[in-house]
């Protein structure tokens, strides 16, 4: 219906489209060309460790009419530049969701902008609808990185239902999804999976076991607990059970261990940026395990006041990332604070994985522990000056006593 811009002029000449291989982004290709007068659509598919085969996806875009189909491996920057900062920030949106999807969007946006500049495109496009968070994240990030580029979001304007989209695709030679067996909308990458739609839209209905793929059910988890030891340097996880692993391998190992023991499932009602509440199922085993261990190490190595302020800023950091403000000034300023706190986060944490639980059972830091035996002990080598507490309490309680004397 909405054919082109008001005067009938093409919306853009050459467009780089974020491509997943799904029906919606596939339909964007002929739609941009036929309805919006775009001359050339170049697709870009990101490998974020989701485990899809990229060659069929690359060919699918060409079959749908893309003039060039590019794929790019973004797994390493995804982990080192996005996941690790989130671990250092103990980032949990609304106290629960470790941002597995949200963290990928600014990275994809950054790469889209680079590709657009390399190929001389005047716009970038994505297949997000108008009621999700991902459109916000893409649009804001692209606007921040490349104000000269237009952002096109056909699915926000075309007003087609799922069936109409499939039919439009079939007329353009895009095959309908092989089976309609999965009623769910799934986003996945190396950090985890998000599952929405189908019967999950009723918040009172329990998620069926079939929605999970990275985590075992508690029933299927091993009966025996497993102890894992996670080592950190400068706030980054560097080794599991004494074996040093590169960042990507470490995340994979953490996923396998936590997933095996059924740890890392989340079922929550979440507040979206666009104002609606939605029911979300996540499984993010490794990321949740690493955040839990990292929090624990900080409790041993951060000064009390730093730890308290950090906790407040962590909440804000998670909100900023969720809300698409990765490249904003507040996120950058908080990053400076967070980075400054991490130089002493060195040591290791022992976690017991068992039947859906990850329980911290030990923590140590040879170089940075602020836990002092002679202060903490109740034994005979106690060095704490008990009598000094009296003067401290005299001053500490003075305002309360003065207030009480006046008002009670």
186 forms beta bridges with 195
Per CB under 6 A, 139 contacts ligand ARG? no
Is residue 133 involved in binding ligand ARG (CB under 6 A)? Answer: yes
> Which of residues 99 and 349 has its CB atom nearest to ligand ARG in the complex?
99
The catalytically annotated residue of 20, 24, 279, 363 is: 24
Establish if 283 lies at the interface with ligand ARG (CB under 6 A).
no
Asked if 280 touches ligand ARG (CB under 6 A), the answer is yes
Our answer to whether residue 246 is catalytic in this structure is no
Judged by CB, which is closer to ligand ARG: 96, or 150? 96
Contacts to ligand ARG from residues 84-103, by CB under 6 A: 101-102
Of 33, 58, 88, 105, the catalytic one is: 105
- Residue 384 in tokens: 């704490």
Rounded Cα–Cα distance for residues 213 and 258 (Å): 13
Stretch that binds ligand ARG, among 51-59, 126-134, 226-234, 240-248 (CB under 6 A): 126-134
Stretch touching ligand ARG by CB under 6 A, among 128-136, 162-170, 253-261, 304-312: 128-136
Q: Which of 189, 194, 215, 342 binds ligand ARG (CB under 6 A)?
A: 194
Active site residue 202: no
Print the SS3 string covering the chain.
CCCCCCCCCCCCCEEEEECCCCHHHHHHHHHHHHCCCCCEEEEEEEECCCCCCHHHHHHHHHHCCCCEEEEEECHHHHHHHHHHHHHHCCCCECCCECCCCCCHHHHHHHHHHHHHHHHCCCEEECCCCCCCCHHHHHHHHHHHHCCCCEEECHHHCCCCCHHHHHHHHHHCCCCCCCCCCCCCEEEEECCEEEEECHHHHCCCCCCCHHHCCCCCCCCCCCCCCEEEEEEEECCEEEEECCEECCHHHHHHHHHHHHHHCCCCEEEEEEECCCCCEEEEEEECHHHHHHHHHHHHHHHHHCCHHHHHHHHHHHHHHHHHHHCCCCCCHHHHHHHHHHHHHHHHCCEEEEEEEECCEEEEEEEECCCCCCCCHHHHCCCCCCCCCCCHHHHHHHHHCHHHHHHHHHHC
Q: Which of residues 198-237 bind ligand ARG (CB under 6 A)?
A: none
Residue 40 lies near ligand ARG (rule: CB under 6 A): no
Residue (134 or 298) nearer to ligand ARG, CB: 134
50 touching ligand ARG, by CB under 6 A:
no
Exactly one of 67, 96, 122, 185 is catalytic; which is it?
185
Question: Does 187 participate in binding ligand ARG (rule CB under 6 A)?
Answer: yes
How far is residue 95's CA from residue 119's CA, in Å, rounded to a whole number?
41
Binding to ligand ARG (CB under 6 A) within 258-277 occurs at 270
Cα(282)–Cα(187) distance, rounded to whole angstroms? Answer: 10
Residue 105 is among the residues annotated as catalytic for this protein: yes
**By CB under 6 A, is residue 185 in contact with ligand ARG?**
yes
Q: What's the gap between Cα 311 and its chain centre?
A: 18
CB of 280 to ligand ARG, least distance (A): 5
Q: For the CB of residue 105, give the shortest distance to ligand ARG in the complex, in Å.
A: 8
- Main-chain phi, psi angles of 22, to 5 degrees: -75, 175
Between 323 and 365, name the residue whose CB sits nearer to ligand ARG. Answer: 323
Q: How far is the CB of 283 from ligand ARG (least distance, A)?
A: 12
Piece in contact with ligand ARG (CB under 6 A), picked from 52-60, 82-90, 132-140, 292-300: 132-140
Our CB check for ligand ARG shows the closer of 22 and 37 to be: 22
Identity of the residue, 257 or 273, whose beta carbon is nearer to ligand ARG in the bound complex: 273
Binding site for ligand ARG (CB under 6 A): 101-102, 132-134, 185, 187, 194, 270, 280
Catalytic residue positions?
24, 105, 134, 185
């Amino acid at each position: 219906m909405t054919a082109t811009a008001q005067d009938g002029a093409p919306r853009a000449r050459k467009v780089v489209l974020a491509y997943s291989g799904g029906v919606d982004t596939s339909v964007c290709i002929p739609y941009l060309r036929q309805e919006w007068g775009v001359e050339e659509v170049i697709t870009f598919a990101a490998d974020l460790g989701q485990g899809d085969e990229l060659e069929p996806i690359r060919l699918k875009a060409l079959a749908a009419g893309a003039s060039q189909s590019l794929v790019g491996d973004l797994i390493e920057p995804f982990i080192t530049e996005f996941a690790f900062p989130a671990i250092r920030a103990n980032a949990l949106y609304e106290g629960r969701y470790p941002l597995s999807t949200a963290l990928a969007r600014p990275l994809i946006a950054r790469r889209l902008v680079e590709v657009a500049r390399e190929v001389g495109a005047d716009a970038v496009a994505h297949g997000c609808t108008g009621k999700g968070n991902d459109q916000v994240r893409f649009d804001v990030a692209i606007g921040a990185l490349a104000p000269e580029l237009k952002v096109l979001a056909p699915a926000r304007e075309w007003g087609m239902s799922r069936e109409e989209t499939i039919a439009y695709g079939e007329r353009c030679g895009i095959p309908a999804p092989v089976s309609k067996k999965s009623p769910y909308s799934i986003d996945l990458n190396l950090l985890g999976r998000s599952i929405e739609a189908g019967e999950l839209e009723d918040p009172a209905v329990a998620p069926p076991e079939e929605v999970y793929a990275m985590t075992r059910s508690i029933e299927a988890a091993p009966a025996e607990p497993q102890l894992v030891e996670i080592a950190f340097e400068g706030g980054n996880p560097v080794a599991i059970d004494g074996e040093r692993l590169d960042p990507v391998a470490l995340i994979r190992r953490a996923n396998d261990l936590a997933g095996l023991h059924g740890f890392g499932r989340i079922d929550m009602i979440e507040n979206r940026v666009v104002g609606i509440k939605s029911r979300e199922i996540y499984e993010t085993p490794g990321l949740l395990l690493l955040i839990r261990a990292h929090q624990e190490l900080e409790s041993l190595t951060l000064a009390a006041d730093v730890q308290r302020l950090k906790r407040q800023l962590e909440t804000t950091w998670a909100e900023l990332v969720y809300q698409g403000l990765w490249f904003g000034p507040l996120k950058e300023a908080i990053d400076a604070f967070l980075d400054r706190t991490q130089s002493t986060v060195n040591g290791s944490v022992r976690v017991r994985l068992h039947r859906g639980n990850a329980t911290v059972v030990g923590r140590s830091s040879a170089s940075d522990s602020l836990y002092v035996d002679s202060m903490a002990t109740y034994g005979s080598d106690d060095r704490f000056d008990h009598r000094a507490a009296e003067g401290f309490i005299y001053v500490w309680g003075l305002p309360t006593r003065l207030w009480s004397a006046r008002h009670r």
